[in-house]
Structure 1
Amino acid sequence: MDSAKRVPLPFKIIPLEDEVQKKIAKDFAGNPNGLVSCNHWGFKFSATVTEQEVEDMYNHPLDPRDVWVVTPPKCGTTWTQEMVWLIANDLDYEGAKTPFNPDRWSFLDITGVLDKDQMKKIAPPASEDGATEGAPNIAGDPNRPSPRFVKSHLPFSLNNPRLLDVCKVVYMARNPKDLCVSFYHHMRLIRFHDFLGDFELFVDYFMKDLTMESPYIEHMIEAWNLRHHPNLCFLFYEDMKKDMKTEIRKVAKFLGKDFTDEQVDMLAEHLHFDNFKNNPWVNAEHLKPLGLMYTDRGNFIRKGKTGDWKNYFTPEMNEKFDKWVAEKLKGTDLTFVQELEKQD
């Protein structure tokens, strides 16, 4: 168990301008208080997050036996988690038939994502007589025995500064256009976010880095610059879609596991998107009866396709978005694949 002393949070939590907050509150019903900025490139949390909560995330206990998955939102996080958990647990498919959160994974930054006023409104605390179920606990217990599996959407600059020195971390990146489309649907589906506008408006928010846990390109650049660290396995969503078996072998080697071709084939079949989206242990369908997801706005596990952005971006939007991404990536050697000739 990590016995390092707590480290003060090196960043201040800064509210956005009043007019911006009002606009966010109007267009994202799940964020009635708007957002706040925290770190040197403006990572966004719910405006109701406290400095203590962020400092707790920053000091999350570490153990060399723990495995982390770090991604921006909607970069195949759940997909990656299922792959990593099964590889680390020697392909225990029976053990995987348990609720994803918090039984198998902790969601580190969940307190920074949810607006506390919105939570009270749609998921009040469980009552003593059991009349109210309350919101499901997906944060997990940071002090439970290792090995622990931790999911974080925080960038490395907001995760525990000793993370890569202590734990194995699998990072998944994705091309920003498909990320944007996927996040648009997610923000409409989840009532804790409840985006009320159309796709064009969402892209505008996205490009202004005014969506939850943005900016995403800076998030990926920060990880990309650390990709040679021996405790970091950097993956691209598009590589998983193109050749999942190769990526499975890459992660298995990283985690010190050796599987037969037959075992790799079986895991690839388990993770194939058509099977994955119908897996009740990962697809979060249980949130719909609880009233936490809209029943008529799609599913938590959606299409899983590279290049779906072409069905949403107009030529004008595409040109503007390309220039925005190019400006963000200036001075880096990070590039993204936007289309695939063939994908699983």
Structure 2
Amino acid sequence: MAAEKKRLNVEFKSMPESLEESFLKDFPSYDEGLVRGEPGGFVLTPHYGENAEELYNFHIRPDDIWVLSFPKSGTTWTQELVWLIANDCDFEGAQKKLNDRSPFLEFPYLLPRPQDLSTVETQMKYRENLASPRIMKSHLPLDLLSPELGKTCKVVYVARNPKDVIVSYYYHHRLIKFHYFDGDLESFAHRFMQDQVFYSPYFGQILSAWERAKTEENVLFLFYEDLKKDLRGGIEKVAKFLGKSLSEDQLEKLVQHLTFENLSKNSAVNKEDGKTSGSFHEDGNFMRKGETGDWEKHFSPELSRKIDEWTELNLRGSDIIFVDKI
């Protein structure tokens, strides 16, 4: 007997500003505009908005492990780390594409509505039928995912300081043809702070995950910057959270495998196939720099100050602290 569907009490409506000429000049591929969900203000495609309840009801297994984040926060890095720990350091198995080993839940709904929905159905069935333990990836906030998440299975949430996220997300929008942003970094940063980009609002989902991790033992909150400072310590923390023991040899191999230099050359992980498929522009890389503090090379003092003020306003009353350079 099929489980009763849970109702998602969020209504998605068209964002009027996303249909304005100035917005479509910046985002020429978003000709359908974007939608915003209320309550919460979450921003994504109309295709997602129509299927949000289906994703909310995606069946969770007790042995699932979910890797969640705001985009460009170290998701791919964390996915590979989690997959290898969960699969007892199966480096041979890790030669298979990461997207196949750890599928991106909502990806079928991030592109324009296809004429033939069978591709979407096939992709969603693949997620449902993947062998256990499934390592699932999503950029959706916890409030828009199954309420069973964190109660019946493990969740690893990774967050990165907002300044580096803005820079990395800007280059992400310049790389991926569908997301193409035809403006400069400063105008992108302002749209980011005004919650006018995919997966906004940034602080909405970060703070929700931070609070959940305080009260739910199945939710682990990681900082990108902590992994950069002490990758070995981060691996050990995740292994303990997942109930896995690693030998000294496994630890050393994992640290080497997970360096940015090695991952960026790893064709199973670096997503360079986006160029051969035609979905990425040739100029740029999905795994770009992996640095902390790269924002200093991009922001004017005035823009840096505005982002600091925006950050302080949004973190007021919270005990979360971001490190914006190491």
Alignment check: 8 A CA contact 2:18 2:24 kept: no
- Identify if the C-alpha distance between structure 1 residues 260 and 146 changes in structure 2 by more than 3 Å, giving closer, same or farther: closer
SS at match of 2:150: helix
1:261-317 superposed Cα distances (whole Å, 9 cap, x missing partner): 221111011000000100000111111111100002x10111000000001110000
1:310 corresponds, among 296, 308, 315, to: 296
Give the alignment's TM-score, normalised by structure 1: 0.89
Report what 2:286 is aligned to: 300
SS of equivalent residue, structure 1 residue 291: coil
Q: Which deviates more, 38-47 or 330-339?
A: 38-47
Question: What corresponds to 1:131 in structure 2?
Answer: none
Aligned counterpart, 1:326: 312
CA contact (8 A) 1:69 1:80 kept: yes
Q: What residue is the counterpart of 1:205 in the other structure?
A: 191
Cα distance between partner residues in 1 of 2:42 and 2:158: 18
Distance 2:124 2:98 in 1: 11
Deviation, 1:3, is: 6.3
Residue 86 of structure 2 corresponds to 88
Q: Say if 1:189 and 1:227 are closer, same or farther in 2 by CA, change over 3 A.
A: same
Q: In the alignment, what sits opposite 2:182?
A: 196
Query: Which residue type is aligned with residue 15 of structure 1?
Result: S
Q: Give distance in 1, aligned partners of 2:303 and 2:219.
A: 34
Quick one: percent identity of the two aligned structures? 44
Offset, 1:138: 6.4
- Give the equivalent residue in structure 1 for 2:106: 109
Q: Is the 8 A contact 2:17 2:23 kept in 1?
A: no
| 1:18 Cα deviation after fit | 4.9
Between Structure 1 and Structure 2, which shows a larger proportion of helix residues? 2
* Structure 2, unaligned runs of 5 or more: none
The counterpart of 2:248, out of the listed 235, 258, 261, is 261
Structure 1 residues not aligned, in runs of 5+: 127-133
Q: Where do residues 65-80 of structure 1 align in structure 2 (5 Å cutoff)?
A: 65-80=63-78
- The verdict on how the C-alpha distance between 1:331 and 1:112 changes in structure 2, with shifts beyond 3 A counting, is farther
Matching residue's letter, 2:139: H
- 1:21 to partner: Cα distance: 4.3
- In 1, distance between residues paired with 2:188 and 2:19? 14
- Closer, same or farther in 2 for the Cα pair 1:286/1:236, shift >3 Å? same
1:186 maps to 2:183: no
CA distance in 1, matches of 2:303, 2:49: 36
Distance 2:117 2:212 in 1: 40
Offset at residue 140 of structure 1 (A): 6.3
Maintained 8 Å contact 2:19/2:31: no
Matched, 1:215 2:204: no
Equivalence for 1:43:
42
Displacement after TM superposition at 1:42 (Å): 0.7
Q: Which secondary structure state, in structure 1, belongs to the residue aligned with residue 196 of structure 2?
A: coil
- Going from structure 1 to structure 2, the CA distance change for 1:44 and 1:111 (only over 3 Å counts) comes to farther
Q: How does 1:113-262 map to 2 (within 5 A)?
A: 113-116=110-113, 141-144=126-129, 145-228=131-214, 229-262=216-249
What is the RMSD of the two structures over their aligned residues, measured on CA atoms? 2.1
Q: Distance in 2 between matches of 1:88 and 1:259?
A: 11
State the distance in 1 between where 2:61 and 2:213 align. 21
CA distance in 2, matches of 1:19, 1:292: 22
In 1, the alpha carbon distance for the partners of 2:323 and 2:228 equals: 11
Tell whether the 8 Å contact from 2:11 to 2:39 is kept in structure 1 after alignment: no
What is the Cα deviation at residue 22 of structure 1? 3.7
- Report the Cα distance in structure 2 between the residues aligned to 1:86 and 1:323, rounded to whole angstroms: 39
Q: For residues 17-39 of structure 1, give each alpha carbon's deviation from its aligned partner in whole angstroms, at most 9, with x where no partner exists.
A: 25754433221122112211114
Instruction: Indicate the SS of the match to 1:37.
Output: strand
Which residue identity lines up with residue 26 of structure 1 in the other structure? K
**What residue in structure 2 maps to residue 24 of structure 1?**
23
The 2-side partners of 1:300 and 1:290 are apart by: 14
- Which amino acid in 1 is paired with 2:85? I
125 and 39 in structure 1: CA distance in 2 versus 1, 3 angstrom threshold: closer
CA 1:324 to 1:75, structure 2 compared with 1: closer, same or farther past 3 Å?
same
Residue 130 of structure 1: aligned partner: none
> Equivalent residue of 2:321, what SS?
coil
**Shift, 1:45, TM fit:** 0.8
Change (3 A) 1:321 1:148: same
User: What is the TM-score when the length of structure 2 is the normalising length?
Assistant: 0.94
CA gap of 1:18–1:339, structure 2 versus 1, over 3 A, is closer
Residue 13 of structure 1, CA deviation: 0.5
